[in-house]
Every structure is written in structure tokens, then in C-alpha cells.
Amino acid sequence: MEYARAVQLEVSILKLLCHPNVVRYYGLHQTRDKLTAHIILEFVDAGSLGHVIQQRTPATFSEPEVANILVQVLRGLEYLHSKKIIHRDLKPLNLLVTSKGVVKITDFGLSTQVLQTCSLRRTIVGTPWYVAPGMCLH
């Protein structure tokens, strides 16, 4: 998919979203020649969950910490699914964390919106290490 089209699709999804566990979209800045685009999102100060895991010594989380992260991700996913949006690339690097422990889903570049009630997305996309095993067998 061409870069400009991919950015337009991601922005069209981001514009629909407003939830505490989904990163907030603020705008799009394009260079004058329209060759470069920057999506402007809310600042999330602690970085991605992937980076938090890498910096943690030892790299373990307590059960309450894991439960807190999972609840927030599930709330974000419940919201996305209520908008008929499928993320398709959920992984630690696409989960941002604030210094107060709020988890926000980000990176909607591979996301899609199911527009028909009986429509199913049968395409397999995403990061291979995080694709459900059942999806790889098809």
C-alpha cells in the first residue's frame, strides 16, 4: 500500500477514537511538498510497554501489575470493538504507558474497520511473533 494512503487510513481511524486507554489523535502535519506526513498524538511519557519491560530489572511484574495492564488493554479493545475497529497488531511496543500507569493502545497502521455486520476479516496481518497460532494454520 502506498505510504500516503496508509497514513490517510490510519488518520481516518484515529479521528473516530476518544477513550482513556487509546492514544489521542490531535492532527496531521504534512510538508509543503506533501512527501512527508507526521501524525500528532498525545504525549505518553513512559514510552511503550515493550521498553518498560526491557528497562525493568528484574524483568518481572507482580500479579496485580499484570492484572492492571490487562484490564486497561481489554477496556481499550472493548471500546475499539464497539466502534467495529480491529487493531490487528497488538503487542507490547504498541501499548504506551504513562508515568501514572495508564496504558494506551497505539499504532493503528494495520487496523481495519468492519463495515458490514456479517463481514469477517480473513486477512492475516501483524507481527508474526504476536499472531495467534490458529491464524497461522489457515
In 3D, which of 33, 25, 22 has the Cα closest to residue 8?
25
Q: How far is CA 86 from CA 11, 99, 124, in A?
A: 15, 27, 12
- 18 in a structural domain: yes
**Per-residue pLDDT, 137:** 55
The mean per-residue pLDDT over the stretch 48-52 comes to 95
* Cα angle, residue 132 at apex, residues 60 and 49 outer, rounded to 5°: 30
Cell numbers for 29: 502535519
Residue 71 covered by a domain: yes
Residue 137 domain-assigned (yes or no): no
Name the catalytic one among 33, 45, 89, 107.
89
- Tally of domains in the chain: 1
**Contact in structure between 29 and 38 (CB atoms under 8 Å):** yes
Q: Which residues form the domain of 102?
A: 3-132
Query: pTM of the full predicted structure?
Result: 0.79
Q: Which of 7-11, 103-107, 109-113 has the lowest mean pLDDT?
A: 109-113
> What is the predicted pLDDT for the residue at 104?
98
89 has catalytic annotation: yes
Report residue 134's pLDDT band, with 50, 70 and 90 as the boundaries: low
Residue 93, domain CATH: 1.10.510.10
